[in-house]
Structure 1
Amino acid sequence: MDTQHPDLHPLFADHLRTLQARADKALLRGGFDHLVVAAGRPANQFLDDRPYPFAVNPHFKHWLPATKAPDSWIVHTPGRKPKLIYLQPHDYWHVVPDSPAGYWVEHFDIAIIREADEARALLPGDAARCAILGEANAALDGFAPNNPPDVLNYLHYQRSYKTPYELAMMRVASKIGARAHRAAERAFRAGASEFDINIAYMEAARQTDNDLPYGNIIGLNEHAAVLHYMDLAHAPPAQAHSFLIDAGASFHGYASDITRTYAADSAGEFRALVDAVDAAQQGFCARVRAGQSYPELHLHAHRVLGDILKEHGFIRMSGESALEAGVTSTFFPHGLGHPIGLQVHDVAGFQASDSGGTIARPPGHPYLRMTRVLEPGMVVTIEPGLYFIDMLLARLKEQPAAKEVDWARVDAFRRYGGVRIEDDVVCTEGDPENLTRDAFAALA
Structure 2
Amino acid sequence: MANSELARAYPQHVAELVRRSTIALERGGFDHLVVPSGTMHYQVFDDREYPYAVNPQFKAWAPLTRNPGSWLVFTPGNKPKLVYLQPFDYWHVVPQTPSGYWVDEFEIVIIRDPQDALEHLPADPGRCAILGEAASALGDYLPDNPAAVVNYLEYHRAFKTDYEIAMMRGATRIAVGAHLAAEEAFRAGASEFDIHMAYCIAARQDANELPYHNIVALNEHSAVLHYTELATTPPAQIRSFLIDAGASFGGYASDITRTYAADQNGEFQALIDAVDVAQKQMCDEVRAGFDYRELHLGAHLKLAGVLKDFGLIDMSPESALETGVSNAFFPHGIGHGIGLQVHDVAGFAESDAGGVIPRPYGQTFLRSTRTLEPGMVMTIEPGIYIIDMLLDAVRRGDHGRSINWERVAEFRPFGGIRIEDDVVCTDGDPINLTRDEFTAQG
When normalised by structure 2's length, the TM-score is 0.99
Contact (CA 8 Å) 1:6, 1:168: kept in 2 or not?
A: no
Contact (CA 8 Å) 1:377, 1:428: kept in 2 or not?
A: yes
Structure-2 separation of matches of 1:361 and 1:161: 21
User: Residue type of the partner of 1:47?
Assistant: F
Contact (CA 8 Å) 1:150, 1:355: kept in 2 or not?
A: yes
RMSD, aligned CA: 1.0
Match in the other structure for 1:270: 268
Match in the other structure for 1:434: 432
Quote how far apart the aligned CAs of 1:4 are.
Answer: 7.4
Match in the other structure for 1:24: 22
User: Residue type of the partner of 2:287?
Assistant: R
Q: SS in structure 2 opposite 1:20?
A: helix
Structure-2 separation of matches of 1:172 and 1:423: 15
User: Residue type of the partner of 2:239?
Assistant: H
Alignment of 1:248-263 (within 5 A): 248-263=246-261
Match in the other structure for 1:293: 291
Structure-2 separation of matches of 1:71 and 1:114: 10
Q: SS in structure 1 opposite 2:360?
A: coil
User: Residue type of the partner of 2:180?
Assistant: R
The superposition leaves residues 272-329 of structure 1 with CA deviations (integer Å, 9 ceiling, x where unpaired) of 1100000000000001000000000100010110011010010111111110110000
Match in the other structure for 2:164: 166
Are 2:47 and 1:54 aligned? no
Structure-2 separation of matches of 1:266 and 1:95: 47
Quote how far apart the aligned CAs of 1:7 are.
Answer: 2.2
Contact (CA 8 Å) 1:89, 1:113: kept in 2 or not?
A: yes
User: Residue type of the partner of 1:220?
Assistant: L
Contact (CA 8 Å) 2:338, 2:378: kept in 1 or not?
A: yes
The superposition leaves residues 52-83 of structure 1 with CA deviations (integer Å, 9 ceiling, x where unpaired) of 00010001000000111001000000000111
Q: SS in structure 1 opposite 2:217?
A: strand
Match in the other structure for 2:132: 134
The superposition leaves residues 239-297 of structure 1 with CA deviations (integer Å, 9 ceiling, x where unpaired) of 00100000000100000000000001277111011000000000000010000000001
Quote how far apart the aligned CAs of 1:394 are.
Answer: 1.1
Quote how far apart the aligned CAs of 1:10 are.
Answer: 2.4
User: Residue type of the partner of 2:87?
Assistant: P
Structure-1 separation of matches of 2:5 and 2:298: 40
Q: SS in structure 1 opposite 2:159?
A: coil
The superposition leaves residues 186-224 of structure 1 with CA deviations (integer Å, 9 ceiling, x where unpaired) of 000000000000000000001111110000000000000
Match in the other structure for 1:344: 342
Are 2:401 and 1:403 aligned? yes
Are 2:40 and 1:45 aligned? no
Structure 1 runs (4+) greater than 3 angstroms displaced? 3-6
Match in the other structure for 2:418: 420
Q: SS in structure 1 opposite 2:205?
A: coil
Quote how far apart the aligned CAs of 1:400 are.
Answer: 1.1
Alignment of 1:172-251 (within 5 A): 172-251=170-249
Contact (CA 8 Å) 1:217, 1:247: kept in 2 or not?
A: yes
Match in the other structure for 2:328: 330
Structure-1 separation of matches of 2:348 and 2:274: 30
Structure-2 separation of matches of 1:335 and 1:144: 36
CA distance change for structure 1 residues 141 and 5 in 2, over 3 Å: closer, same or farther? Answer: closer
Are 2:95 and 1:92 aligned? no
Match in the other structure for 2:74: 76
Structure-2 separation of matches of 1:250 and 1:371: 26
Contact (CA 8 Å) 2:242, 2:258: kept in 1 or not?
A: yes
Structure-2 separation of matches of 1:198 and 1:8: 30
CA distance change for structure 1 residues 198 and 241 in 2, over 3 Å: closer, same or farther? Answer: same
Q: SS in structure 1 opposite 2:60?
A: helix
Aligned length: 442
Contact (CA 8 Å) 2:172, 2:247: kept in 1 or not?
A: yes
Match in the other structure for 1:13: 11
The superposition leaves residues 118-166 of structure 1 with CA deviations (integer Å, 9 ceiling, x where unpaired) of 1112111111100000000000111110100000000001100000000
Contact (CA 8 Å) 2:292, 2:370: kept in 1 or not?
A: yes
Are 2:62 and 1:64 aligned? yes
Contact (CA 8 Å) 2:243, 2:258: kept in 1 or not?
A: yes
Structure-1 separation of matches of 2:129 and 2:8: 28
When normalised by structure 1's length, the TM-score is 0.98
Match in the other structure for 1:311: 309
Contact (CA 8 Å) 2:3, 2:101: kept in 1 or not?
A: no
Quote how far apart the aligned CAs of 1:6 are.
Answer: 5.3
Contact (CA 8 Å) 2:253, 2:342: kept in 1 or not?
A: yes
Match in the other structure for 1:284: 282
User: Residue type of the partner of 1:112?
Assistant: I
User: Residue type of the partner of 1:160?
Assistant: A
Match in the other structure for 1:106: 104
2:154 to 145, 153, 156: 156
Contact (CA 8 Å) 1:241, 1:266: kept in 2 or not?
A: no
Quote how far apart the aligned CAs of 1:99 are.
Answer: 1.1
The superposition leaves residues 353-385 of structure 1 with CA deviations (integer Å, 9 ceiling, x where unpaired) of 000000000010000000000000000000000
